[in-house]
Amino acid sequence: MTNMAKTSYQLPELPYAFDALEPVISAEIMQVHYEKHHKTYVANLNAALEKYHEAESKNDVAAMIALQQVIKFNGGGHINHSIFWTILAPVGHGGGPSGELMEMLERDFSSFDQFKEKFSSAAVGVQGSGWAWLGYSKAMKRLEIATCSNQDPLSTQGLIPVLGVDVWEHAYYLQYKNMRADYVKAIWQIFHWPNIEARFAKAII
């Protein structure tokens, strides 16, 4: 038992203050989203992994299988939100798409505006809770738009996340009520393109 790998995930530091993304995302939403939602995914992930390691040490495969769904949900929640915080920046600080990423967006979606339109309608169209992503397919060597239900990480679709938008109601409801389209329209003002481009650069290696 002493040499058993003990994994403990931590809530990553938010790279800006809760009110930094206003007026696009309110401080209240940021605080609840980060301190309650993300923190809970981390706590539940760690608790589930602890049970998983225990089941593993007892060779209890049935118990291990029973834990897979909770690990997927909370682990996915942790992965997704850890990406989400870093691809956002205060209005006027995120720059714009450029370089190789811009070239590939234009190649794969005809133009940046077409990408923006397709991505936005995918995000608005997610039924129930989930995420919209721009991901890179290593197999196809191209960018793709994909949506995921609940907290399924984009890797479940064989794509590397480049840019993602949380469209769970907890991400916008306190401010936008049921108007998800308004939230999705506004979020383009706070993308942090240097971070998004760095993810893309790493994905294409």
Name the token pair of 169. 């109601």
Residue closer to Mn ion by CB (options 36, 141) is 36
Minimum CB distance to Mn ion, residue 37 (Å): 5
Helix ranges restricted to H, 9-126: 27-31, 39-57, 61-86, 99-109, 112-125
CA distances, 8 to each of 45, 46, 49 (Å): 9, 6, 8
Which stretch, 6-14, 130-138, 144-152, 161-169, contacts Mn ion (CB under 5 A)? Answer: 161-169
- CB-based closest residue to Mn ion: 166
Which stretch, 98-106, 130-138, 160-168, 183-191, contacts Mn ion (CB under 5 A)? Answer: 160-168
Residue 187: what are its φ and ψ, rounded to 5°? -65, -20
Which stretch, 11-19, 24-32, 159-167, 178-186, contacts Mn ion (CB under 5 A)? Answer: 159-167
Give the number of other Cβ atoms within 10 Å of residue 59's Cβ: 8
Residue closer to Mn ion by CB (options 115, 168) is 168
Minimum CB distance to Mn ion, residue 137 (Å): 25
Through-space distance between the first and last CA atoms of the chain, rounded to whole angstroms = 39
Which one among 108, 152, 166, 197 touches Mn ion, defined by CB under 5 A? 166
How many residues of this chain interact with Mn ion, rule: CB under 5 A?
2
State yes or no: residue 152 binds Mn ion (CB under 5 A).
Answer: no
Using DSSP's 3-state secondary structure scheme, residue 170 falls into helix
Provide the binding-site residues for Mn ion, judged by CB under 5 A: 166, 168
